[in-house]
Chains A and B, each alone.
Chain A
Amino acid sequence: MRVGYLSGVRVAAIADRLGLPEREAGNLVETLRRLGIETLGDLAALPADKVADRFGPAGQRALRLGRGEDELLVCRRHGTWDELAGEIELAEGTAGDRLERALELLIDRLLASPGRKERTLLSLRLGALLGDGGNWSVEQGLGRPTADPRALRIVLTPRLEELPAPAISLRLHSTRFGPRAADQLQLAVRGDESRRHRLGAALREVRAAQGADSLLKVLPVDGASRVPERRALLTPFPVPSR
């Protein structure tokens, strides 16, 4: 069993190696995560017979991958192992604008994460833990690589309407990365954008020198909450993409 350096890798790394349709693979990974199986080390530690009983052939395949018994995973070092993820708990009855604010917060945190290494995103999975104990998640492709928070909000916000029941937590994680934002060709820069680019460069410099938490903004989340600490959050200040 070669679990050594694989043990800390998140289970999402095996999603596209299960030989399943994207949605089914995503659902399996999401289910594992909800059961507390976050890493390949957690997965590898499970008894094979229990995995087979619960998840069938797909689970057995996942277990083999998790234990490093599959050459494909061992050889592909540039997959989505370093996926970014964020989750936020929601107050009772969170809906409408407040739900959108929570999504905005998750997007900002994802984009500000040092683990992104300035890469763009190609697809994301938006998920929720529902009040009735169920799970919901949906894969969202972006069409083109982007790290623009406005673009992410535009495509992800309508998906919130598909929530089948009130959610008690919202989760967002990257499933595919694109090239670094700096590597993308720039078609045109309007005059009023040069100032924005200079500002972005200055902000990146501050964040690189002082850490990810050095630039924050106050994000109103639930201004009418009876619990004061739920009303607003400090969240990473969005830095304009290059």
Chain B
Amino acid sequence: MTPGVRRLYMPWPVEVQVDTEGVPLAVGGVGVAGVREEWLVEDRWWTLRRLWRHYFELALLDGSNVVVFRNSKGRWYRQRG
């Protein structure tokens, strides 16, 4: 990323509980009502800075709709956009 340039829609870390399949059960302590969609994003796989993300669009029990992803290191992030 170029120094001094700010991106919009940057992801931020979030706590996610998952089941044995790795599917989210709760996000930030709020239970998941259902998985609306999931998809994989891979980019720059030919470089040392490979990007790999497993995205989930989730409906939560409080009625909100969130998008989270797990990266190649197993860390979870929430993201808008």
A→B interface (CB under 8 Å): 86-89, 91-92, 105, 109, 168, 213, 216, 218, 226-235
Contacts and interface: CB of A to CB of B under 8 A. Distances in A.
B80 interface: yes
B43 A232 contact: no
Given A91-B43, A233-B8, A228 B80 contact: yes
Nearest to A92: B43
Contacts of B7: 229-230, 232-234
Contact of A234 (B8, B53, B79, B80): B8
A32 B69 CA distance: 39
A235 B5 contact: yes
Contacts of B73: none
A53 to B, nearest CB: 28
Closest 9 CB pairs of A and B: A228-B81, A228-B9, A234-B6, A229-B7, A232-B8, A226-B41, A88-B2, A229-B9, A229-B10
Given A228-B80, A228-B81, A92 B8 contact: no
Nearest to A228: B81
B11 A229 contact: yes
Contacts of B43: 91-92, 226-227
Given A91-B43, A92-B43, A229 B81 contact: yes
Nearest to B81: A228
A227 B51 contact: yes
A221 B9 CA distance: 13
Contacts of A213: 4, 6
Q: For the complex, would chain B's binding face be called helix, strand, loop or mixed by DSSP majority? A: loop
Contacts, number: 52
Contacts of B80: 228
Given A234-B6, A234-B8, 16 more contacts: A88-B5, A105-B5, A109-B5, A213-B4, A218-B8, A226-B41, A227-B53, A228-B11, A228-B80, A228-B81, A229-B8, A229-B11, A229-B79, A230-B7, A232-B8, A233-B5
22 contacts: A86-B2, A88-B2, A89-B2, A91-B43, A105-B5, A109-B2, A109-B5, A216-B6, A227-B43, A227-B51, A228-B9, A228-B11, A228-B81, A229-B11, A229-B79, A229-B81, A230-B7, A231-B81, A232-B9, A233-B5, A234-B8, A235-B5
A92 B46 CA distance: 11
Contacts of B8: 218, 229, 231-234
Interface string B1-43: 1101111111100000000000000000000000000000101
A203 B1 CA distance: 27
A112 to B, nearest CB: 9
A231 B5 contact: no
- Residue among B2, B44, B51 with max Cβ neighbours from chain A (10 Å): B2
Nearest to B49: A89
A60 to B, nearest CB: 33
